[in-house]
Amino acid sequence: MGAAASYFRHIKEAVVTIFDGMAVTASHLVRKPYTIQYPDRIPVRVQDTLPFRYRGILDVDLEICTGCLACDRACPINCIAIAIEKNAQTREILISQFDIDMAKCMYCGLCSEVCPTGSIHHTTEFEGADFSLESLIRRFIAEPVVAYKAKKGPEPDPEVAQLLERGMKYVEEWAQPGGDKPATASPPKPAPVAASPRPAPVPRPTTAASPKPATGGTEAKVPDGAGHDDGDQGDGNKDG
C-alpha cells in the first residue's frame, strides 16, 4: 500500500510542476514583448543609436594616417601590424602594410588615444562574426600609400579636411577622459594678496669707545683745571 501511494504522489507532483511551468509560459502570451526585431525590422539601425564613444570594430582613415606607429606601440596584445618605408630622395613615408586582427582586439581604446590625427578609431559597428579567424584580419592597404603630412595652414583638400576634422573631434571628445561631458566653469582664482611692507630696521645705538687707561711709567698729561675740585688749584693732586 505504501509503494502505491508513493507512486501516485510522484505522478501528482510531476503534473503540478508541469502546470506551474506552463503557467509562466502562458502568461507571456498576453504580455507586450520586450524583444526587438533584428536586424531590419526596426525604424532606426542599432548602430545609429549607439553613443559616439562606443568601442566598436576599429577602422582606419589612411588619408590622414601619418605612419607614426604610435598605435602599434600602444597596443598591449600586438593585434596591429604596420610596415613603413622612408624614401631617401623625397623624404616621404610609405605605408605598405596596415593590418588589424579583430580576433585578438580587446577594444581597450589605447591605440585611438595616442593617434595624433584620429586616423584609427572605434566605430559603432559590432557585427564581427565570421566563419574563420583569418577572415577577421582587416587589411587596409592593398598598395603602398604615402603617409599624411600635417600642413602649416588649413588643409586644402576638402575631403581630407573633413576626415581630419572628424579625427580631431574623436581625439578631443573620445580619447580624453570625460570628454563627452559639458565643460564646467572653473572656480575663479583668488586675487593675489599684496605683501605688507616690511618695517624699517631700527638702528642700533652706537657708543663711543672709552679711552683705555695709560699703562707703564709715564703719566697721563692732564689739562689745566681738569680733575680738580672747585676752588682747588695746583698740579692736580689733592691734599691728603
pTM of the model: 0.56
The residues near 36 (Cβ < 8 Å, ≥ 6 apart) are 42, 46
C-alpha 58/C-alpha 103 separation (Å) is 12
Task: Give the DSSP H/E element, type plus range, for residue 96.
Answer: strand 93-101
In the three-class reduction of DSSP (H, G, I as helix; E, B as strand; rest coil), residue 166 is classed as helix
What integer pLDDT is reported at residue 78 of this predicted model? 93
The series of mean pLDDT values per 10 residues for the chain, 240 residues long, is: 84 92 88 74 83 90 92 94 89 92 93 90 89 92 90 84 84 59 46 55 56 49 46 43
C-alpha 223/C-alpha 221 separation (Å) is 7
Helix, strand, coil % over all residues of the chain, rounded to 5:
25, 10, 60
Instruction: Show the domains of the chain with their CATH numbers.
Output: 51-175 (3.30.70.3270)
